[in-house]
Each structure stands twice: as structure tokens, then as C-alpha cells.
Structure 1
Amino acid sequence: MRKLTVLILALCLLLSFTSCSKSDVSPTNNVTHATKVSEDSESGSKDIVILFTGDVHGGVDSGWTYSGVDVIRKQLIAKGNSVILVDNGDSIQGEPLATMTEGGAIIELMNALGYDIATIGNHEFDYGMERFMELVDMANFPYISCNFNKLGELIFSPYIIKDIDGTKIAFVGITTPWTLRSSTPAHFMDEEGNYIYGFMQGKDGKELYAAVQKAVDGARAGGADYVVAMAHLGNIDELKPFTYADVIENTTGIDVIVDGHSHDLDQVTMKNKAGEIVYRSACGTKLEAIGYVRITADGEINTGLYRWDNEENAVEVLGLDSVMNAAYKKAKEEFGALLAEVVATSVVDLPIKDPATDVRIVRNQETAIGNFCADAYRHISGADIAFINGGGVRDELRKGDITREDILNIHPFGNMLCVCEATGQEILDALEFSAHAWPIEFGGWLCPSGISYEVHTYIHSSVETDETGMFVGVKGEYRVKNVYIGDEPLDVSKTYTVAGHSYMLKNMGDGYTMFADNVFIQDSVMTDVQVLIKYITEGLGGVIGQEYAQPQGRITFVEEKVE
């Protein structure tokens, strides 16, 4: 016990504490540092504490790490508090340990840590419905959601009531209806392309609000003294009418919402439909903070965060002693074996350099590996065309067996598949921007799929950029000409669907500003590594064949003007 107390005192030296209590009556982000944590730790209070994580995205060795969660929980219990540990979704996807095990390694770690309840985020479905249900069966804790349904029938319990020394706390699960857009739509359809799974996603939000209210009313009728909504909703305007604020304003009976999805750290109070105060707490992403809800013996509620602001994780800095250290070590060892697993084969080499000169060509030439990667995005998404940036293709594939590590080395960034709507003019601008630096290498050089075009290199580029290198426009003649989508000429006034990754399409990576404000019909669906693995194993039947022996003539360079 003495060793644990000393350890927690060390923690307090590096801990930030953000809280929101009953005295707050408006949105707030109050920050008090280690002295406040120490006072709470030594107060001797015997409270109910709900620890929560969210949007871990497989980052179990980031921030606090799961070991930090374990140590904080142990200290709270040692002080006489009753502790419940819950997760708000998006835990099983993201980092390679999650992706390469299709979430299995993360579920095993969550089991070892002893989670009590979890709700469903949008990325829980990234590996497909069948795999998600397998993970649910693996979990030693229940998933809850009051709005995830199949043909109108709820799949999980909408709420769970925990009786803690005579105090009944209901946990209500809420999953964002935008899941249909931000995971793979086909995962929610039958073989005929009809949606059979849903999230009470009516356009005005009323179906979701009614589902939440029904669950809350049921929990109250079941004797709940407090209702805690475990939500994966977020706080971004583009998520309306399904944000946490929308739910609070249109329901009654919720005391606290512990929320995720938007990766924020906000501690907020606002009024519900009846004018009563509701607390909303979020804990960021990848264990940068661990959230808590504290319910005191006299009924006071406050929420806050245990923050970790260091680049090195808590285990590395503090040497935390936890059973999770051994569990994570075991997971890494098993992961190493998984990386070495052969998942496909190639009958051709797919280099990123010119074999004759050893000069890198993936950033200023059409390459077979660039075509392969772009084809993967188009095949998986079903979009009209696809682009990926040459700078994002980091390694080659050699003829022979292909391991999971080989694929990870091509796309090591964890970017997410997205599909947006774009006009022909925006596509033409993107192609022109891609070619503006040629023949000089450009990390944003586009590797295309479903589209072909000419680059007239004798024309001086007239692309305009701002002082940061972001695309502004084209002031003169275009170098890119004779653009075809499939067999049809590009129509600059027509709207097409464009697949790519979040770095470029959403986040303006490499300076591509023309897509960021567009409508995204698939948003952060799966990681780049997942895209490649799925394409190789399912789209190509496990074999990269002769079709990728050479570039396929998607980009033609015209060096002289033809009169």
C-alpha cells in the first residue's frame, strides 16, 4: 500500500485536473493542477467514481496507457471509493495493433483491464458486422446502445443498471447515426444493397431523441437514482442534429453524458429540455486523458479529467507497476508474430524506384505500385475515381510472399479512407496541382485510378499557391489535358465521387484545398492498411498479378506541342 501511495504522489506532480461541478451553470473548461488532485486523493471520501475512456483507437500504449487506467482505479479503490470503468467507443480500430488483429488484441486487453461496460462508436464496425459480433462475443463486458438496430429491433440492451451499495446508476448507450457514413456503408446492407441496420437516423434527429428518451424513462422506471449516458456523438456542427447538445436539449432525465467521437476535452454544463442541468464530459483520444464522474454520498455530481500532457507515455515516465504491463508485452509479442504472417503473394515487383537508376519515381511518374494503391481505394469505396499521393507510398512490394508487415510498410500513417463528391473542375484543378512541380518531385503527386489524362510538360505551370504552399487557383493554361473518367471525357460541370484518404481529401494534405469543404458520403471508413489488405485478399483473391507488372498508361506525358 505504501508503494502505491508513493507512486500516486509521483503521478500528481505530472497530472492536470479539469473539473465541472454543480456550481457550474454554463459551458466551462476549468483547470486546476496537482494540488487539487492531491486534496481529493487524501480527502478520505467514499464516493462512486465512474472512470471512462473513449476514442482510444488502438493507442493502448499512448498517454496514460491502460496501465495508467489500472493504477488510477486502484488508488481510488484504496481510498474507499466504488469504481466503475466504461468505454465510449472507437477503441478497437486505429493503431497497427488494433488494425492487424481486427480489434482482437484490444478486446483482450480490455478484458484484462476489467471494463464493466462499453458503448459502440462508428469505428467498431470497420472490420465488418460479422467481425464486430465476434468481438462482442470475445468481450467479458457488455456493449449497450439504445439506437443501434436491425430492421427496427434493438441489437443490444439500451441501458444497464448497476446497484452500488444501494445506489442505482443506469448507463444508457448512444451511438452516432453518422456511423452509416463514417464506417463502410455496405456493412449495414443486405446483399441487394438495402440498409437493414440503422441508428434511428431520421433527418431531424427526432427518432434518435425518442430512442434516448425511451431508454432513460425505462431506466428511471427501473429504479435508477442517476442516469449516465455513454455516448459517441461529439460536438462538431457538421454532426448536427446528432451532437451531444442536440440530445441534451431534446431529452430529460439524463444527469451526465460521458461523450466521445470528436476527440475533444471539453467539460460542459448545459440545460436539458426541462431546464435542468446536465453535465457533459469528454476525454480526448488515445488516452491523453482519463475522464471521471464522481457522485458523492450526499448526491453531488462533478466531472473532470486526469490529464497526461507528455509525449512519452506514463509507463515510460513513471515506471507504473500494473498487471497491464505484462498483458501489453504479451500482446506485442503476439503482434510481432502476426506481422510476419504471409497474407498474399505477388507474381511481380512493384517498385517505388526506377530499377535501372535506383532513382525514386513514385513522386513524379506513374508507377505500378501507385496504381495498385489507388485501385484499392476505388475498389473498396466504389467511387468513380480515386487518388492517393505518391508521398504516402513509403515502400515497395517485391515478388513473392507478402506479409502484413510488408503492407504496413507501404502505408504506415494510419490515414482513413474517405469519399467525397467533387465537380469535374475540382478534379481538373487537383490534377493540375499534382503536375505543377513536374519534373521536380512532389509529395502530392497523384497516383490515379479510374481516370486517365495527359500532362503537357512544355506548358509552364500557372498554378497559384499561398505562402504556405496551399492551392489557390490556376491563372493560365492548364498543363493537364484530355482527361477521361473511364471512357468518357471529364465534364467540368458534372459531379463525381472521389475516393482517397483523410490526409489529402479532408485535411488538405500536400496543399489540396479543393476537396475539404465538399460533401463526404463516406467519412473515415477504414485505415489505409485495411484498404490494402482488403483489396489484396478479397479484390485480387490473394494474388497481385501481371496487371501490375508495368504502369498502365493512366498518365501520358506530352513534351512538344502538336500543331
Structure 2
Amino acid sequence: MLKRFVSAILISAPLLTLALGSVSIVRAETPSSGTVSIMYFNDGHEISPVVDKLGTRGGVARIKTLIDGAADEKIVAFGGDLGGGTLFGGVFKGFPMVEAFNRIPIDVANFGQHDFDAGSANTLELIKAAKFSWISSNLVGKDGKPFGNVPTYQLYEKQGIRIGVIGLTSAMETTTPDSAVKQKNVIEAAKLAVDQLKKEQNPDLIVALTQEPVEDDKALLQAVPDIRVVFTEEEAEEKSFVYEVDGAVKRYIFAPQGNMGSIAHVTVGRGADGQLTLSHEFLKVDENIKEDGALAEFAADYQARLDQELGKKIASADSGLPYGEHHESRFQETAIGNLIADAYRDYYQTDIAFANGGGIRASINQGDFTLKDAKSILPFGNKIVVAEVTGDMLLAALENSVSAVDKVAGAFLQTSGLSYAYNPAKPVGQRIEQALVNGKPLDKAGKYRLALSNYMYTGGDKYTMFAGAKTVVGANEALTDFELLIAYAEKKGVLSAKTEGRITVNGFADVTSDHWAAQDIYGLSAKGIIAGVDVTRFAPLEAVTRGEFSGYLAKALGLGRPELETALGWSGAGLSEQLTREEMAVAMKWAYAKKTGKTPVSGSPGDTTFADDAMIDPVARAAVSELARDGLLSGRPDNRFAPKEPASRAEIAHVVWVLANR
């Protein structure tokens, strides 16, 4: 039984987020009769397991093993993205994944944005190849009817339980622009689909498969209370997440790991009172799961075909050109970004070339550079067009490029022929501080020939400023990004790109003007009290050690660091341990008293106003209570103090800045 893969814990909270790594979690609600399993996974870019620094995960052969292991009746659902986005998806355009899902088999699939990367005509062929049902409640064709004539919902009746499933997809602007498919408003479409489902089928349970951020899923549940379960897209490669939402009945949002790294398994039954019962778990799809033999052979055959097709050497690289462990191509200049932009500009001999950082998906290793390498780096196959644009359009494009750097958005521009400086601490639309074209100031009224992807040129990633530009080389006659990179590599023979000051970041890319601790972080940075983790990142969510915190406090308040650490009992190896939030409070109280000779406004040492007060260590509770009452300390969302959790770099910057200015 699948229960052998999980551990059970008791959970109770108005809104609880669980980040699940190697541990699976079950919510226990005991049914009195037969049960139905809903098994959901998504992000199927790779047919074989992904093996990287995060470990081993995914693979269709392991997915089948886990699904076959469910003993009760089941509904198997896929959430979207089986084509595009990676080398495998770009080469085979989703067809091997459809065949694999036919063999598992799955019952129903929602569309992901990447399922349209090769164009809607390709998506229609994927629908034809599927033995399972695609559904969409909000994607329509030119005729206003559901795209591909797929159903707007599916109804499954098992064990006397009627389960309705709808499908919702947002952010279609992030895939290949195609007039043959249109995205309708997700919430409005969901309301219509749910009303239709209730009227026609009278379901006991309504489930939504979504391709949208979790915050949008929460808004969906708020707007459409008849939806009880949402299965959504991945939030991380290494973790699964479940959000529990209290109401008349408990509702859930499930986000399994990316690259099919886990399966969300929800068991539906009826209690003795006739009401539905739900229990849930996440099943890890890792090396501990035995592969189904037939599907493992099927996947291996496709991997061999991929290697054979793309193994040809076309150049050599004299050094590695990393994409970036932290997705650096999405917020700063990278050597690989320069290489790609140079390839576009060189082929068309334009003044400028843009390469969007989100389109760069892999690194170049030192040594042989092959077709496989080129396709891995640029898997989407975007057409690179040429347009005559104005300086005003270029400036607007640069502002759009840096408008969401803190979110590591794919719109960030790598450039050739143009250099720019931006300040993330300034408001959106005012962040570009300098722009030079071939070393000369950008002429807003001037005209320039620009090479860029057709995706951006037609408005993708909010690049709408080119609407009035003159097309010089259109998509019909343009070559793909992949082809231009190959042509440039063959021409060069040896790839030796480097960073050379094309993009300057005046601040921290991950701390923008609207960050809650921006003033504190930049204030301490200006005084030399705290620095970034590198030249462009502050890493506000990263944890700090006790030793780091004591150093910041001592420097900011003019205190003796040895005295502070001795008073707190921190020494030796203990200084390298992560600082918890309750330890932060104790240290703050001591430092405040040492600096001012006063203690914070006294509150009751026995309690605080935080919802998780009982979790605070008695030694720390008085410090938390007094500092909070005096406005020196605050909690996290939902009125939690989270005493045992590590303090983040943004949080310690805030409290150090507050103390320094008292």
C-alpha cells in the first residue's frame, strides 16, 4: 500500500503551509467505505529521471510504479508542461511524454504554458495523440470555443463518489505568441465551469488543475468556494507544498515538486455521517522507487535518439560559461548571455541585440561544444527577428527588463552593442540610470536596428513597446535562436566569451524599492555594516549564523563583540550555528540595554500576543514580549513569531537598523 511511503502528523491552523522534502505527510480523516485516489503530478519536461545537485527525481518509469501501487480506484491527473522548456521538450515537442502517459495510463491533463512552445498546431497534434482527456476551462480558439474542442470539465464517478475536474491556465504570454489560442480570465472561467458542472453533473467534489502561482490559487478558492482541492504547478524543484485553507470545510492547494519529483496523492472517501473525507500525502519519485521495466526501456530509447541526433561537435569552449547557480542571467550580465546576444547581432549585423535571460536554460562546459549543448541552452526555438526601433523603445524595453529582477523574471535582457546600468532600489519605470549604444549615450529619438526574439517583439514578457517598430526580418524568414548560436559557434571555432561591463547593478537585484526591508538593508550597506553575499545579491531570505549576527550588532551599535557573545553564551563551534528568531530576540534585548542603559517597555513575561506563543522558549518569551510591545520586533504573517525558525538576512537587517536608530 502507498501508506508505507509516508509518516503521519497532526496539523491544525487557519492557513498552514508545509514545505515537504524527503518526508511525506498524511492528513488523516477516516472513511467508512471504499475510497478513491486522486494522483497528481506535473512539470513533465524530461522522460528520464533528472539527476543534479538536488538529487534524483522524476522519470515516467517511476511515476508508473507509484501509480500502479495505489490499490483503490483512482483518477490520475497531469497538471501541464510536457513539451518545450528543456532540450528534450524542444527536440521532441511533447510526443514521447504523451505516449508515456498513454502507457501509464493517466486519465486527464491540463495545459501548461510550455505545451504551446512549438505553436498551437503542435498542441493540437498532442491532443490527437493522447488516449487520455485534455481539458481546459479557460483556453479558447479563434471561434471562442474551448481550444482543440477539449472538454471544459470531466466527471468521474467511482465508489459512488462523483468527482468533477476543471482545468485552468494563466500566463500564456510566456509562451510562443499564437492567435489560435486565447486565455480567458481564470476566475471568471472557473465560475462558469463550476456552475455548468454543478448544473449538469451534481458532483460531490470539485477539483481544479491549475497552471498559475499559488497566490492566484488562493484567490481562486476565495472567489469560487465550491472548489475544494486545487492541484497546481510546482513552486520548487526540491520540495512539495500543501496549503490548508479552513472554512465550512477544509480545502487544499497541492504543489508537487518540479520535473515530476513527487506525486500528490489525495484519498477521497465517505465518513459514517455520509460526508466526504479527504486524506493526503506526497510520494517522492526518487531513486528509492523501482522503475517499470517497459517504460524504462521506452525512455532509454528516446534518450539514445537524443544523444545520437545532437552529439555532433561544432566548436570548443576554452572555459566554462555557467548559466548561474542562482539564475544570474535573469538579473546580471553573464558570459553566456553575452555569447548568445553576440551570436544574434553578428548574424544579422545589427546595431544591438537582445537575449532574454529566461530563455537561457543551461551552461556551457569547457571542451567540446555540440548541437546538444546549443539546444540545451536555447530549447525554445524562438525565431530571432530584426526590427528598426527608436531609442525611446529601447529605453522602455530596458525598464521592462529590470522591473521584476527581485522575482528572477525571465524578461531580463542580456545585450550586445548596448550597455546599461540599473538601480533596483528605485521605483519600477525609473531604474535605468545609464544606457550606451556602442559607447555613446542612447539617443531617444534615434533609430537602431535591433535583433531580438519574435516572442519579445510580439509582446511576450510585457515587451509591448515595439508595436510601432518597423519589421526588417520577420518571423517567416528568420532563423531560430538555436540555429544562430550554432552558426556563431561554427564561425568562431573556439568560444571564449566573458563578462565585460555591459550591465551594471547599482544595488542588490533581489532587494527592490518595494521590498519590506529595503530601507534597512540599503541603510546598513551604505554604512559598511552589512554586505551582499556577492556583488549583485543580498539574499534576503537566507539564514544567518550567530557569529554573523553578533558581528553586525556589535558594529552597528559600537559594542564589544566578545562581550556580547560571552553574555549570550555563544562561543566556538556554536557561533557557526544558524540563529533562530527567539535567539535574535534575546540578543536584541541585551544589545538594547547595553547601548541605551534601558530595557524595552516592560510587558508580561509570561506571554506574548503571537499565535504561536506556546512555542517560544521560556527564556526568550520575556524578550520577545517586551521588544514587540516597544515596536522593536515584529512577527511573521498570520501573527506568528516562528521562534524556532532561522532568522533571515532581511529580518536581521531590519532589527539591527531599528536598534541602531533608537
Q: Which residue in the other structure is 1:386 paired with? A: 354
Matched-pair identity in %? 14
1:216-365 equivalences in 2 (<5 Å): 216-221=194-199, 222-236=201-215, 243-260=216-233, 262-263=235-236, 265-270=240-245, 277-298=250-271, 299-302=275-278, 304-308=280-284, 314-315=286-287, 317-339=288-310
Answer 1 or 2: higher relative contact order, Cα 8 Å, separation at least 6.
1
Which digits, 9 at most, give the CA deviation of each residue in 1:450-482, with x for residues without a partner? x368x9xxxxxx9999xxxxxx9999x999722
Q: Does 1:132 align with 2:73?
A: no
Following TM superposition, by how much is the alpha carbon of 1:284 offset from its aligned partner in structure 2, in angstroms?
A: 2.5
Distance 1:262 1:414, change over 3 A: farther
Query: Relative to 1, partners in 2 of residues 1:134 and 1:61: Cα closer, same or farther, differing over 3 Å?
Result: same
Residue of structure 2 aligned with 1:482, choices 440, 446, 468: 440
Deviation at 1:56, TM superposition (A): 2.8
TM-score normalised by the chain length of structure 1? 0.59
Q: Superposed, which structure 2 residues align to 1:350-429 within 5 Å? A: 371-373=342-344, 385-387=353-355, 394=364, 406-410=370-374, 412-413=376-377, 423=395
Cα pair 2:352 2:415 within 8 Å, conserved:
no
| C-alpha contact (below 8 Å) 2:61/2:293 kept by paired residues | yes
Equivalent position to 1:50, from 38, 43, 46: 38
1:120-159 aligned at under 5 Å gives the runs 120-151=111-142, 152-155=144-147, 156-159=150-153
C-alpha spacing 1:409/1:371, structure 2 compared with 1 (3 Å): same
The Cα of 1:369 is off from its aligned counterpart by: 7.2
Q: Give the structure 1 partner of residue 183 of structure 2.
A: 199
Shift of 1:412: 3.4
**Partner in structure 2 of residue 170 of structure 1:** 164
Give distance in 2, aligned partners of 1:330 and 1:545. 31
The alpha-carbon deviation at position 374 of structure 1 amounts to 5.8
Where structure 2 has 5 or more consecutive residues not aligned to the other structure, the ranges are 51-56, 320-332, 385-392, 403-412, 425-430, 465-474, 501-662
How far, CA to CA, are the matches of 2:63 and 2:414 in structure 1?
43
Amino acid of the structure 2 residue aligned with 1:124: D
3-state secondary structure, aligned to 1:56: coil
In the other structure, the counterpart of 2:531 is: none
1:226-279 superposed Cα distances (whole Å, 9 cap, x missing partner): 11111112225xxxxxx111211112321211111544733123367xx65432
Distance 2:152 2:336 in 1: 53
AA aligned opposite 1:26: L
Deviation of the 1:281 alpha carbon: 1.4
Shift of 1:35: 9.6
Matched, 1:209 2:218: no
1:560 corresponds to: none
1:351 shift after superposition: 6.9
CA contact (8 A) 1:168 1:224 kept: yes
Tell me, in whole angstroms, the C-alpha distance in 1 between the residues paired with 2:377 and 2:269: 44
Distance 1:391 1:88 in 2: 22
Identify the residue that residue 462 of structure 2 maps to in structure 1.
521
Q: How far does the alpha carbon of each residue in 1:25-79 deviate from its partner, in whole angstroms, 9 at most, with x for none? A: 4234287987977x99x999841010000123326413143233222222222xx
Q: Which residue in the other structure is 2:389 paired with?
A: none
User: Greater share of helix residues, 1 or 2?
Assistant: 2
8 Å CA contact retained: 1:377, 1:500: no
Per-residue CA deviations over 1:317-373 (Å, capped at 9, x if unaligned) read 45445542222223223333443699xxxxxx877669xxxxxxx998999976225
Task: Tell me, in whole angstroms, the C-alpha distance in 2 between the residues paired with 1:235 and 1:425.
Answer: 28
1:69 maps to which residue? 63
Distance 2:348 2:276 in 1: 51
**TM-score normalised per structure 2:** 0.51
Whether the 8 Å CA contact 2:307–2:372 is kept in 1: the answer is no
Residues 55, 285 of structure 1: 8 Å contact kept: yes
Contact 1:248 1:271 in 2 (8 A): no
1:54–1:283 CA contact under 8 A, matched in 2: yes
Q: What CA distance in whole angstroms lies between the structure 1 residues aligned with 2:23 and 2:337? A: 56
Mapped contact 1:174–1:232 kept (Cα < 8 A): yes
| Cα offsets for 1:84-103 (capped at 9, x unmatched) | 11011113233322221111
Residues matched between the structures, number? 425
Q: Check the 8 A contact 2:397/2:463 in 1, yes or no.
A: no
2:418–2:436 CA contact under 8 A, matched in 1: no
Distance 1:45 1:377 in 2: 68
Is 1:27 aligned to 2:5, yes or no? no
Q: Is this contact kept in 1: 2:231–2:253, CA < 8 A?
A: yes
Partner of 1:248, secondary structure, is: helix
Q: 1:108 aligns with which of 85, 94, 99?
A: 99
Matches of 2:85 and 2:337 in 1, distance apart? 29
Q: 1:216 to 1:365 in 2, by over 3 A?
A: closer
Residues 110, 210 of structure 2: 8 Å contact kept = yes
Q: CA deviation at 1:126?
A: 0.5
Give the conservation status (yes or no) of the 8 Å contact 1:374–1:447.
no
Q: Which has the larger radius of gyration?
A: 2
Q: Distance in 1 between matches of 2:257 and 2:188?
A: 28
Following TM superposition, by how much is the alpha carbon of 1:82 offset from its aligned partner in structure 2, in angstroms?
0.8
Residues 158 and 407 of structure 1: CA distance in aligned 2, closer, same or farther (over 3 Å): same
C-alpha displacement of 1:423:
3.5
Aligned residues of 2:111 and 2:167 also touching (Cα < 8 A): yes
- Structure 2 distance, partners of 1:58, 1:486, is 45
Match of residue 359 from structure 1: none
**Cα shift at 1:16:** 6.4
**One-letter amino acid of the counterpart of residue 120, structure 1:** F
CA contact (8 A) 2:234 2:240 kept: no
Partner amino acid for 2:182? Answer: G
CA pair 233-363 structure 1, distance change in 2 beyond 3 A: closer
Report the Cα distance in structure 2 between the residues aligned to 1:277 and 1:118, rounded to whole angstroms: 25
**Pair 287,539 (structure 1): closer, same or farther in 2 beyond 3 Å:** closer
Q: 1:75 to 1:542 in 2, by over 3 A?
A: closer
- Pair 1:367–1:76, CA change in 2 (3 A): closer
Question: Which AA in structure 1 matches 2:222?
Answer: E
Q: Secondary structure at the match of 1:423?
A: helix
- Displacement of 1:128: 0.6
CA contact (8 A) 1:366 1:447 kept: yes
Alpha-carbon distance between aligned partners in 1 of 2:292 and 2:95, rounded to the nearest angstrom: 24
Answer whether contact 1:283 1:290 (CA < 8 A) is retained.
yes
Unaligned runs of 5+ in 1: 190-195, 202-207, 237-242, 343-348, 355-361, 399-404, 431-445, 456-461, 466-471, 491-495, 503-518, 524-531, 558-563
What's the secondary structure of 2:197's corresponding residue? helix
Matched to 1:171, the amino acid is V
